[in-house]
Structure 1
C-alpha cells in the first residue's frame, strides 16, 4: 500500500499552485468582459477566479495532511464558538474606518452622492457578490491553512506579514487591469499592499483570539464591501484605507491582546 508523501514546503507549494490556477481563470474573466457577455456571467467567472486558493489547497490537501479528510478540516475551522465581543470589536473598527473615509471624501470632493449604490436590492446583491467572490473563496487557503502553517515557525505577526505580502502579490493581475498608469499605478499598488498587509495583521490578531474562520471572513468581507460602497477616486480611497487600516494594525500590535501577535499560538489543524 503506497503512502502519500508529505510536502516539504507546503505554503510555498500552495502559493505557487494558487497563482497557476488563478491566471488562466483571470484571463477567462478578461475574455468574458471583452466579448460582451452579460454581467451575471462576468460575475460568476470572476467569482470562480477568487476560489483559486481553495482549489489549490484542496488539490494539495492530502500531501499536506495525509491522515485527515478535507471535509473534516473545513468543519473544524468553523466549529469553535464565536465570541460576540470579538465580532463587535471587528465591526466597530471597520465601520469607524468606513465613516471616516466617507467624511474625508465628502470634504475633499463634495460629491453629490457619496455612495455608489442607491437601492436595497442592489446593496444586497453587491453584498452577496462580494462574499462569494472574495472572503468565502480565499480565507480557507490563506488564513485557514497558510497562516496556521507559518505560525508553526514564526510569530503570528511575522506570519501575517508574510501571508499579507503574498496575498497582495496574488492580486497583481488585477492591478494591471485597473487602467492606471505611471505614478497612479505606483500609488495604487503601494496603497493596495499596505492595506492588504495591515488587514492581514488585523485578521491574524482576531483569528487567534477567536479561532473560527468566520472571523477573517467577516473582516475580509467588510474590507471589500465598504470600499466599494464609497463614490470617490479609487487611488484616494485606497490611500485612506491604507492609512486607517495601518493605524488599526499598529494599535493592535501595541496593545497585543492576550499576546496573540507575538507568542506562538496553538491552532488546531
Structure 2
C-alpha cells in the first residue's frame, strides 16, 4: 500500500506555486523588453512563462497523486475519442462571436483595417505563438487538474467560477503593466474577469461533453487568437468579449444544464474507474 502523504489542499497549493513560478518569469519577460533584445527571445520567454501552471503541477504531482505517473495522467486527459459535433459546435459559437465583434469594430471604429495582421505568414506565426504561449501551457494544470479536482466537491458551474477567478487573478501582473490607469484600468479588469470566467464556463460545458483536453485547448486558442487579430480599442474588445461570452455561457446553461449545473454526462464504469484512479 502506498503510504506517501498527499497534499491536503492540492488546488490551493497548485494556484500558489503557479503564481510563485510565474512572477519571476514575467519579470524576466519585462526585462527582455526593456533591454530591447530580439523579438524572438521575448516570444520564447513569453511562452515559457505561460507554462508556469504546468511546471507547478508537474512539481506537485507526486504529492497530489502518490505512486501515479505524470505521463499517464497527461495521456488519460486525451484518451477519449473526440466528438466532431462537440468540436464544431464550440468552434461555430466562437466564430459567431468573432464575426459579431469584427462587425461592431468596423461599424464604430475609424481604423483603416479591422485586423492587426496583414499577411497569411504573420497570421500563421501569430496563431502558433498564441498556441504555445497560452493553451498548451495552461490547460493541463488549470483545466486538466484544478477544474476536475474541484468538480469532485462542487458543481461544474461553481468549480468553473472558482478556477476562472483564480485563473484571471494569475494574470494580475499583466493588468498593471498594461499602461492603463484609473477608470480605464477598472474597466479593463472587470471585462477581463467576466470574459475569462464566462469562457471557463463554456470550456467546462464542452469538456464535460467529451472528456478530452483538446476541447478546452481549442476554445482557449480561438479566444486568444481572435481577440489578438482584431484592430480595435482594447477595452472595447474586452467589453464585447465579456458580453458575448457571458451570453454564450448563460445560453449553454439554459440549453444543457446537466454538464454545468449538475455534473458530467454518464460514462461507462471502466471509464469512470480510470478517470478517478488519480484520486484514490
Which deviates more, 15-24 or 109-118? 109-118
- Asked if structure 2 preserves the Cα contact closer than 8 Å seen for 1:152 and 1:264, the reply is no
Q: CA deviation at 1:78?
A: 0.9
Q: Counterparts of 1:120 and 1:194 in 2: how far apart (Å)? A: 31
Change (3 A) 1:77 1:185: same
State the partner residue of 1:217.
217
Q: Which consecutive unaligned segments of at least 5 residues does structure 1 have? A: none
State the partner residue of 2:269.
none
Q: Counterparts of 2:115 and 2:4 in 1: how far apart (Å)? A: 52
Q: Counterparts of 2:78 and 2:217 in 1: how far apart (Å)? A: 11
Q: CA deviation at 1:14?
A: 0.3
Q: CA deviation at 1:227?
A: 0.2
Q: Counterparts of 1:2 and 1:144 in 2: how far apart (Å)? A: 24
Which deviates more, 135-144 or 107-116? 107-116
Q: CA deviation at 1:110?
A: 3.1
Q: CA deviation at 1:2?
A: 8.8
Q: CA deviation at 1:118?
A: 1.0
Aligned Cα root-mean-square deviation (Å): 1.3
Q: CA deviation at 1:253?
A: 1.0
**SS of residue in 1 equivalent to 2:77:** helix
Please show how residues 201-212 of structure 1 align to structure 2 within 5 Å. Answer: 201-212=201-212
Q: Which consecutive unaligned segments of at least 5 residues does structure 2 have? A: 267-271
> How many residues are matched?
268
- Asked if structure 1 preserves the Cα contact closer than 8 Å seen for 2:2 and 2:66, the reply is no
- Asked if structure 1 preserves the Cα contact closer than 8 Å seen for 2:227 and 2:237, the reply is yes
Q: Counterparts of 1:16 and 1:264 in 2: how far apart (Å)? A: 27
State the partner residue of 1:107.
107
Q: Counterparts of 1:5 and 1:256 in 2: how far apart (Å)? A: 39
State the partner residue of 1:164.
164
State the partner residue of 1:261.
260
Give the alignment's TM-score, normalised by structure 2: 0.94
Moved over 6 A (4+): none
Write out per-residue CA displacement over residues 38-94 of structure 1, whole angstroms, 9 at most, x where no aligned residue: 000000001111000000000000111112100000001011100000010001000
Q: CA deviation at 1:264?
A: 3.2
State the partner residue of 1:60.
60
**SS of residue in 2 equivalent to 1:153:** coil
Write out per-residue CA displacement over residues 212-252 of structure 1, whole angstroms, 9 at most, x where no aligned residue: 00000000000000000000000000000000000000001
Q: Counterparts of 1:207 and 1:135 in 2: how far apart (Å)? A: 14
Change (3 A) 1:2 1:103: closer
Please show how residues 117-266 of structure 1 align to structure 2 within 5 Å. Answer: 117-256=117-256, 259-265=258-264
